[in-house]
Amino acid sequence: MMDALSDDGSDVNQDDTQEDVMTPAELIAKLEEAWLNEKFSPELQENKSEVVECVMEQLSHMEENLQRVKKGDAKASIHRMEIDRIRFVLSSYLRSRLQKIEKFFPHILEREKSRGEGAPSLLSPEEFAFAKEYYANTETYLKAVALKRMPPNLQTVDMLKAVPEPCLDSFVFLRVKERQENILVEPEADDQREYVVDLEEGSQHLMRYRTIAPLVSSGAVQLI
Amino acid sequence: MAPKQQGGRVVTQQTRSLLNISVNILGIQLLSTSFGYKMDTLSYLPVQPGVGMEENFLSLDDILLSHERLPIRTECSFPRLGFLEKSSDTKDITEGTKMELPLWLSKGLYEKKRRVLSVELPKIYKEGWRTVFNADPNVVDLHKMGPYYYGLGSQMLHFDSPENPEIAQTLLQTFIGRFRRNMDSSQNAYNEDTSALVERLDCLEKALFTSGQSGLNSFQSWEKGQASQLTASSLVLNYRKRKINDLQP
Amino acid sequence: MDASEVEFLAEKETVTIIPNFSLDKIYLIGGDLGPFNPSLPVDVPVWLALNLKQRQKCRIVPPAWMDVEKLEEIRDLERKEDTFTPVPSPYYMELTKLLLNYASDNIPKADEIRTLVKDIWDTRIAKLRLSADSFISQLEAHAKLDNLTLMEINTIRTFLLDSLNCMYKLRSNLQPGSSKGQFKDF
């Protein structure tokens, strides 16, 4: 039993076939970053399928090991608590993505359509299937309860116009992880002028999402 | 005039209301993703009002807003539509008739180039009231005068008027002027009857008040340790209710 | 974000415990813990510390800042300054609540500490509202919020962000032509 649990740390590291080698602890930190960014950003972020898959792998690996442990083991209960915590973050992350997909589905699908060959997709394959199905179900449902009773020329609804777009001009709270210079702040009123700010490492700010959106996806700032 | 197109608009409006009702029911039926770890979240996110000049098609508030009545004056005659105007017995609605039309219809009929009708400003947006707002926005009962003061005001900008810039400015200043009081009342009123605090608020402000309250309540219940008590998801409760309903003939 | 999710993040902070049992090193996914030896202090995350405490397997050593004198200093400074002063921990509120609720017998003068932290919190929240109001009325586009903690931001987040959104839309009314198309046909 001892071996089952104690060789975990080293063993998993070698398993990691990702291009950049990440320790499991770094992986969990990545997941938490993605979780908070997804929670606070007005639009859907790029999918982090590799992170999600790696975390899942870690979890099932750990669970397998725990199966071999006899009941009432002190270490096992601590491992289980950790697994529960990670699983909570993971499902909260995935759930907040699904919520956004439900909220903005026509726009997200439209972006998928216009995505260039080879450009990374916003959605994981599963999320893409979900979005498509959600679209189809909503359409079928609206047709069944209302639209089919309308005059023929009014039986379609343009989902792209009917469902509001994410508002990129929303404000967000953020913490700076890598120093940024000369971030342009657009004026709020006509009598103001635009100006630039430097974002120092570790400082916290309240500003428009649009201004710093690229920094969120590059990981230079963390939404809080 | 293009009667066909306008006929279309009437039906479109009805479609919209119907669709919205459907979407709201859909929210209950889909139950898709949001259950499980439940924290004060709905299984369905209602569509928010558009607030500015754009309306959100599926927002309940915007649909209600589009039924607000505006005073108008017809600038041409509407043949054989006299039955719509209850105050006279004529067959046609003659040019120069003053009547009230809902916002959605006024917007549909209004054209800049061809004068079909002219829309009069509701008095709350006229200069007299604008002066009041500029003096002290906090004294006005926006529920009584609105309740879609900001929404309707923004929609009024669709109709050409030389006063439009001032209207837009007053809307913004009023919002800013009333912000502090709204924030304080929504962030301080814990566990008390809030009806007196919200009765003079515009619909938009009321929604903001509610979001302020939810932040306060979430913090307070956490502080008291209530958040750590698990409660059954509303979904599970509703499911039970539905089952009982199914049993009743 | 829900307050309990902020608490969840706070539970990752480390705290020193003095265990009354022995156990080898544990290799968790998020890092190694231990080894645990009776009477030897060891650092663990708060979630584990509270669990062990509840099972009476350890004593919790309160963080250095959780001390009446230090907190009084912080409170006085917070009241004196107009800006937000640095807090002893980014999760001071959450940790105070967690540790005082589950381990008050390990913390000297627990009640005084509770009151002091609450005073600091109240002073800071009042400042936060004041700055939110001036942010709105000055139509600011950017604010620096160093030293604000996640829990503090969280109490005002939805309200402030929703208000800013509404304001943004009312402000775009001022620029005619900015709205796309006059009427939309759906």
Residue A49 belongs to domain with CATH number: 1.20.58.1030
CA distances from C68 to A40, A152, B147, C65, C78 (A): 36, 75, 51, 8, 15
Q: Cβ neighbours of residue A8 under 8 Å, at least 6 residues apart?
A: A61, A62, A65, C27, C29
Single-letter amino acid code for the residue at A95:
R
What per-residue confidence (pLDDT) applies to B36?
A: 35
A157 and A185 share one domain: no
Residue B247: band (very low, low, confident or very high) from pLDDT cuts 50, 70, 90: low
Same domain, A112 and A171: no
| Amino acid identity at A32 | E
CA C141 – CA C109 distance, rounded (Å): 44
| Average pLDDT for A194-222 | 91
User: Tokens 């209950």 sit at which residue?
Assistant: B28
Measure CB to CB from residue B157 to each of C159, C173, C184 and give the nearest one: C173
- Based on the fold, state whether residues A153 and A215 are members of the same structural domain: no
What is the CATH topology of the domain spanning C3-171? Methane Monooxygenase Hydroxylase; Chain G, domain 1 (1.20.58)
Residues of C in contact with B51 (CB under 8 A): 165-166, 169-170
Q: Does A78 lie in the same domain as A2?
A: yes
Residue A103 to residue B45, Cβ atoms within 8 A: yes
CATH number of the structural domain spanning residue B85:
1.20.58.2050
Tell me whether C138 touches chain B (CB under 8 Å): no
Q: Are B142 and B177 in contact (CB under 8 A)?
A: no
Query: In the listed set B97, B120, B143, which residue is the last one of a domain according to the structure?
Result: B120
Q: Is C141 on the interface with A (CB under 8 A)?
A: yes
Query: Mean pLDDT, to the nearest integer, of A184-199?
Result: 81
Subunit contact B32:A102, Cβ cutoff 8 A: yes
Residue of B nearest to C97 (CA): B223
CB within 8 A of B235, min separation 6: which ones? B31, B35, B38, B43
Whole-angstrom Cα distance, residue B181 to residue B138?
A: 8
pTM, full prediction: 0.84
The whole-number average pLDDT for the span B27-33 is 39
From first to last of the 186 residues of chain C, give the pLDDT tens digit. Answer: 888 899 999 999 999 999 999 999 999 998 899 899 999 999 999 999 999 999 999 999 999 999 999 999 999 999 999 999 999 999 999 999 999 999 999 999 999 999 999 999 999 999 999 999 999 988 888 999 889 999 999 999 999 999 998 988 888 888 765 443 344 444
> Of A192-196, B4-8, B192-196, C78-82, which range is least confident?
B4-8
Domain finish residue from A119, A140, A164: A164
B234 is a domain residue: no
**Element counts in chain C: helices (H) and strands (E):** 6, 6
Which range marks the domain in which residue A180 is found? 167-224
**Residue B25 within any structural domain of the chain:** no
Query: From CA C53, how far away is CA C99, in angstroms rounded?
Result: 10
How many distinct structural domains can be found in chain B?
A: 2
Residues A97 and A202 in one domain: no
Whether B158 is covered by a domain: the verdict is yes
The partner residue sitting opposite B56, judged by closest CB among A146, A151, A164, is A164
**Gap between the Cα atoms of C53 and B124, Å rounded:** 63
Q: Is residue C1 within 8 angstroms of chain A, CB to CB?
A: yes
Which residues does B contribute to its contact with A (CB < 8 Å)? 8, 11-12, 15, 18-19, 21-23, 25-26, 30, 32-34, 36-37, 45, 47-48, 50, 56-59
Interacting residues of A218 by C-beta distance below 8 A, sequence separation 6+: none
Q: Does residue B129 share a domain with residue B143?
A: yes
Show which of A131, A149, A164 is a domain's final residue: A164
CB distance B40 to B218 below 8 Å:
yes
Question: Of chain A residues 121-160, which have a CB less than 8 A from chain B?
Answer: 134, 137-138, 141-142, 145-147, 150-151, 153-154, 157
Same domain, B4 and B89: yes
**Testing the interface with A: which of B14, B20, B21, B22 to mutate, by most A Cβ within 10 A?**
B22
Same domain (yes/no): B184, B112: no
B152 in a domain, yes or no?
A: yes
Using an 8 Å CB-CB cutoff, list chain B residues near A88.
Answer: 37
The per-residue pLDDT for A18 is 47
* Plot region of B238 (φ>0 → left; ψ -120 to 50 → alpha; else → beta): alpha
Q: What is the torsion angle, in degrees rounded to the nearest 10, for the CA atoms of residue C12, residue C17, residue C23 and residue C29?
A: 10
Angstrom distance (rounded) from CA B159 to CA B111: 9
Separation CA A8–CA B64 (nearest Å) = 60
Asked if A81 and A123 sit in the same domain, the reply is yes
B65 and B167 assigned to the same domain: no
- Interface predicted TM-score (ipTM) over 0.90: no
Residue A81 has pLDDT above 90, yes or no: yes
For chain B, helix, strand, coil in percent to 5 are: 55, 5, 40
Question: Considering CB atoms only, which of A8, A162, A185 is closest to C142?
Answer: A185
Q: Are residues A152 and A119 in the same domain?
A: yes
Cα dihedral sign, B46-B44-C1-A55 = negative
Q: Is C141 close to A188, i.e. CB distance below 8 A?
A: yes
CB pair distance less than 8 Å for C158 and B214:
yes
Mean pLDDT of chain B: 78
Give the residue from chain B lying closest to C153, CA to CA: B215
Among B195, B198, B192, B193, smallest CA distance to B178 is for: B198
pLDDT for A17: 46
- The Cα angle at residue B163 between residues B162 and B167, in degrees rounded to 5: 145
Q: What is the pLDDT of residues B132-174, one digit of tens each?
A: 998 888 888 888 887 899 999 999 998 888 888 999 999 999 9
Domain count, chain A: 2
pLDDT of residue C117: 96
A74, C148: Cβ pair inside 8 Å?
no
**Interface chains of chain C (3 or more CB pairs under 8 Å):** A, B
| Chain A CB contacts of B46 below 8 Å | none
Domain housing B157: 121-223
User: Cα(C161)–Cα(A60) distance, rounded to whole angstroms?
Assistant: 39
If asked whether residues B116 and B133 sit together in one domain, one would say no
Residues B100 and B139 in one domain: no
Tell me which residue in B26, B36, B58 faces A162 most closely, judged by beta carbons: B58
> Based on the domain organization, do B111 and B2 belong to the same domain?
yes
Question: How many residue pairs bridge chain B and chain C with CB atoms within 8 Å of each other?
Answer: 114
Same domain, A38 and A131: yes
CB crowding C65-76: b at 16 or more within 10 Å, else e: bbbeeebeebbe
Q: Are residues A101 and A181 in the same domain?
A: no
**Is the same domain home to B103 and B137?**
no
Same domain, residue pair A116 and A23: yes
A170 touches chain B (CB under 8 A): no
| Whether B82 and B162 share a structural domain | no
